[in-house]
Amino acid sequence: MSKARCKRCGKPATHRVVFVTRGVREEFYLCDACFEQYLKSRQFQESEKFISGMISDVIQELAQTIPNEEISPCPSCGMEYEDVLKHHSVGCPDCYAHFREQINLLLQKLVPLPRHTGSSPGSKSILSSSQGHLEELLKEAIKQENFEYAAMIRDILNKVAK
Amino acid sequence: MIQELFPPHLPGRYDDLDSSDILLEYTFTLRRNIRGDKFPARMSPSKRRSLADSLAQKIGQTHFGDEMYSVPFDELSPSEWRYLVERDFPARILSPRRDGVAAFISQDEKLSVLLCSRDHLTMKVSSPGKSGSSSYPRLFFIENALKDSFEFAFDEQFGYLTSDLLSCGTGFRAGVLLLIPGIIILKKFDLLKETMLRYNLQVGIFSPDSVLAEATTRASLGVSEEEIIDSATGFAEEIADVETRARKELMDVLPLEIQDRVMKSFGLAAHSVLISLEEATGILNRLLIGAVLGMLKLDKTDILELFYLIKPEHIRALTGENLPLRELDMQRGKILRERLTG
């Protein structure tokens, strides 16, 4: 941080600002004065508005857009749409398919990217990209003489290495 | 008795805490549900119990089953239940429902698997200090061990399906427990908020006079597991920098009022005969400030442990007696006097 310069005025930087938006990482440095300005800036205000948008406000807005009586309960578990909105929870995995359109609308307002991007049942486990962390765990398991656990970690590490 | 499985003194909860005075603990949670079954809230207690039994049987056959205790919640007495809730182990992921709900909890309480609570499986691992960020693979080991026997509910768009809409996607969350007296006393909340928003976390401070804050990742959908881990660690590192600067700033101009409050609290803790839980909690918060800022020669881990030891069921477990309220206040005073001045 000591060598970094403020992106706006070139003075020595005291704050590192990192944004990760939809998978794209942006990083820059600011000094105290510019950081104060930045806190009042549009970029910050907009992200604040977006993230701190109260769930209840979003739900109320959604409830007004889609009248509840038009949507039938989930055929698998009987969950009513009104209860989905009230508790932002569902009754069974099939609710996601039954209320897909409404859940999609709701999540669009609550998360930056309402589409799954992580691991899936058929894909490689996150363990395959955790080599460094696995090595830490292996050291700890050996230190604690937990050899069965250590063998399990080593087994995964061997698979990762292949 | 649950109190015998998990004695009041926290076994090694903060033992591995490195020199960090700021980053106390990382917590990771992974939720999974079985395809074709309703979520626990929509199941009958007998169906929950039956599913919890079959999941428990499979977990019991894994390496993790050997190192964890099986705890069926509906077999606990009211006192055991209150003890577990005070313990805070399940509090953050617990639903009020107990019928047919069970848990596996490791002896050191760092690893737990909650069965048929809000979701069929809620796996949680907590680990102290900076190195705690590498503890999450344990959750995926358990997931791996169950994969061959159970098919998890999954959707291409919404990822792993969970009862709470905000947990679908990876079903994975990361959290961090921070000790931030500098930020709180100097009211640097804008900085805290800005950092929290950038990393997409939510932050909660335990009570108005607390200097402990818990931050957890907000979204599980649209972000990968790696991004979730990076968010929590990035946030923790950045806040640790801010807090270090804030503490320095605070030490330069340490207001007399703060010193006064800390020292008076120490006096109260060292000499009180009767003390309520609320008053004792406030005192411990101020002692924590004193320990961290070097005003008192107290170990912060002792104070953190005392937050648990002063709770009613913990005092009852320590004394082995079902004490009434007034006796609890007396014992609480005794515990504080002995631990802080002994």
The stretch B25-34 carries a mean pLDDT of 95
Q: Name the token pair of B14.
A: 């903060």
Closest residue in chain B to residue A38, using alpha carbons only: B194
Q: Please, which pLDDT band fits residue B274 given cuts at 50, 70 and 90? A: very high
CA–CA gap between residue B238 and residue B225 (Å, rounded): 20
Q: Dihedrals φ, ψ of B197, to 5°?
A: -70, -40
Distance (Å, whole) CA A34 – CA A28: 12
Confidence band of B92 (pLDDT split at 50, 70, 90): very low
Inter-chain touch B165–A106, beta carbons under 8 Å: yes
DSSP state letter for B169:
B
Interface touch A79/B42, C-beta < 8 Å: yes
Place of tokens 């320990």: B291
Residue B307 to chain A, least CA–CA distance (Å): 28
Which parts of chain A sit beneath pLDDT 50?
1-2, 20-24, 45-54
B152 vs A contacts (CB less than 8 Å): 121
Residue of B nearest to A35 (CA): B191
Longest dimension (CA), chain B: 63
Inter-chain touch A110–B198, beta carbons under 8 Å:
no
Q: So what's the pLDDT on residue B98? A: 73
A113: left (phi over 0), alpha (psi -120 to 50) or beta: beta
| CB spacing of B222 vs A112 below 8 angstroms | yes
CA-based nearest distance A60→chain B, Å: 16
pLDDT at residue B228 tops 70: yes
Select from A108, A157, A104 the least CA-distant residue to A134: A157
What phi, psi does B41 have (nearest 5°)? -60, -25
User: Tell me, what's the pLDDT at A131?
Assistant: 77
Whether B155 sits inside 8 A of A77 (CB atoms) is no
Q: Can you tell me the mean pLDDT for B269-297? A: 92
Confidence of residue B193 (pLDDT cuts 50, 70, 90): confident
Inspect the interface and report whether the beta carbons of B137 and A130 lie closer than 8 Å: yes
pLDDT value at residue B12? 61
| Residue in A with minimal Cα distance to B203 | A52
Count CB neighbours of A65 within 10 A: 9
Would you call A47 and B197 a contact, using CB atoms and an 8 Å cutoff? yes
pLDDT digits (tens, 9 = 90+) for B143-169: 988 988 999 999 999 999 999 998 999
**φ/ψ (deg, to 5) at B310:** -90, 0
Contacts of A116 in chain B (CB under 8 A): 155-160, 168-170, 221-222
The closest CB to that of A92, out of B39, B156, B226, belongs to B39
* B165 to A107: CB separation less than 8 angstroms, yes or no: yes
Q: Comparing C-alpha atoms, which of A111, A72, A70 is closest to residue A88? A: A111
For residue B97, pLDDT over 70 is answered with no
State percent of chain B over pLDDT 90: 52
The dihedrals phi and psi of B146, each to the nearest 5 degrees, come to -95, -15
Check residue B267 and give its pLDDT: 96
Whole-number Å distance between alpha carbons of A77 and B39: 9
CA distance A71 to A82: 9
Query: Would you call B248 exposed, middle or buried from its count of C-beta atoms within 10 A (0-12, 13-18, 19+)?
Result: exposed
Give the per-residue pLDDT at A66.
62
Minimum distance, in Å, between the CA of residue A90 and any CA atom of chain B: 5
Q: Which residues of A touch B143 (CB under 8 A)?
A: 125
The mean pLDDT value for B273-294 works out to 92
Mark yes or no for CB contact A44/B194 under 8 Å.
yes
**Cβ distance of A88 and B133 shorter than 8 Å:** no
Q: Number of A:B CB contacts under 8 A?
A: 166
**What gap in Å lies between CA A26 and CA B266, rounded to an integer?**
47
Q: What single-letter amino acid sits at B326? A: R
Taking the CA of residue B42 and the nearest CA in chain A, the distance in Å comes to 6
Nearest to B35 among A55, A91, A93 (CB): A93
What is the rounded end-to-end Cα distance, in angstroms, of chain A?
38
